[in-house]
Amino acid sequence: MNNGSVNVVADMDKEIIVKILSGEATEKERNDFFLNCEANPSLKEEYIRLKNLWVLSIEEQAPNKQKLFEQFWATTRRSQSNRMRRIVFEAAKYAAILIISFGLALFVNSEIATNSDFVQTFSSEAGSVSSIELNDGSKIWLNSGSQLQFTEKSKKRVVASLTGEAYFEIAHDPGREFLVDVANIRIRDLGTKFNIKAYDTDDEITATLLEGKIDVQNVKGKSLFEMNPSDHFSFRRSTDKYNLTKIDPSFVAAWKDGKFVFIDKSLREICNELEKWYDVQITISNSELESGKYTSILKRTTTISQMLEMLKVTTGLEYEIKTNKNGLDMIMIK
């Protein structure tokens, strides 16, 4: 069991910590604060803890450190509130990306079927991102817990079946048709950069176009519509209905660069993503906290404990970690 602890620090002390970490404190303010730390072990411990979190939050960041700092501490000052409006967290190391050639490493299964179709399957384990490089220079990234199966019908037609999430950078070849199947939807490449999210555990399937064009078809190959850059397609399995909107696509594929980016998402939606990455189960007992809308930029960390600690600092939530008999971490957020 792992419970986070809360150190009570006066708002005035937090204001001084903000100024010290941002380099804005005067020499007298710094001296007075550190003298207080020597006389107050709890204050010293809290300063060290929050300083470490801040160092993690700006790791490997460039010119926007001051802006990140201001956002980080704006939420930290409200750490006892259960209504977070922004989390900014860049922390620790990102899982190594495996770059492979089509038909080589991460090759799970290949066979020449009786109908002469050539099949290859690639997968990415929980907590990792894998990259596939095709012979024509195309690149595909697989997110945590995803699987992509290629069926080469002929040199002129390749069909990929996706379970999970993948980002595609496909070199367009007018002499070859490249298709991606997800549920009752088929995406036909027209020389593009696009992201598809289609986990079996999610009701919603999404496709977002960053560059070029893709054609959205039904399973019979009938074109429903063509997508242009910034188009965001969503399809719900439960209703068999789809929607097409415009969004800012810049954050859609941030996962392949080592980031969680949540824009106006509920804590439940955020936890769903954490569950996929860390292979844990998260229960939220506070319904108000669960349904609140949050915006978060989070570095994919090496441990779930680091992530929960940052959420605690910025939201005031409490959490408890237990391990079930199967060795799976179960997290209760209160």
Show pLDDT as tens, one digit a residue, over the chain (334 residues). 334 333 445 667 777 887 787 677 888 888 888 888 878 878 877 777 666 665 555 444 434 444 544 554 454 444 333 333 332 332 222 322 333 223 322 333 333 343 456 788 899 988 889 998 888 889 999 999 999 998 876 778 889 999 999 999 998 888 888 999 998 899 999 888 999 999 999 999 999 999 999 999 987 888 999 999 999 999 999 998 999 999 988 889 899 988 888 888 888 888 999 999 998 999 998 888 888 787 777 778 667 888 888 777 767 788 898 887 776 778 999 8
CA dihedral of 118, 124, 125, 129, whole degrees rounded to 10: 170
141/183 same-domain check: yes
Domain with residue 198: its CATH number is 2.60.120.1440
Last residue in a domain, options 221, 251, 281: 251
36/144 same-domain check: no
Does the global pTM surpass 0.75?
Answer: no
The pLDDT value given to residue 200: 93
> At 270, phi and psi to the nearest 5?
-65, -45
Write out the DSSP string of 110-152.
EEE-TT--EEEEEEE-TT--EEEE-TTS-EEEE-TTEEEEEEE
219/111 same-domain check: yes
184/104 same-domain check: yes
88/109 same-domain check: no
129/194 same-domain check: yes
233/117 same-domain check: yes
Last residue in a domain, options 210, 228, 251: 251
31/139 same-domain check: no
Neighbouring residues of 127: CB distance < 8 A, sequence distance ≥ 6: 95, 144, 277, 278, 279
> At 223, phi and psi to the nearest 5?
-70, 130
Cβ proximity of 206 and 181 under 8 Å:
no
Last residue in a domain, options 217, 236, 251: 251
46/141 same-domain check: no
Q: List the domain range (segments joined by +) for residue 226.
A: 98-251
CA distance 241 to 263: 23
* Residue 116 Cα to chain centre, angstroms: 38
278/213 same-domain check: no
- Report the relative pairing of strands 177-182 and 157-169 from DSSP bridges: parallel
The neighbour count for residue 238, using CB atoms within 10 Å, is: 7
In the block, residue with structure tokens 């999210």: 197
Q: How many folded domains does the chain comprise?
A: 2
184/303 same-domain check: no
46/78 same-domain check: yes
Q: CA separation (Å) from 5 to 129, 130, 196, 308, 313?
A: 33, 36, 39, 12, 10
> At 282, phi and psi to the nearest 5?
-120, 125
Distance in Å from the first CA to the final CA of the chain = 15
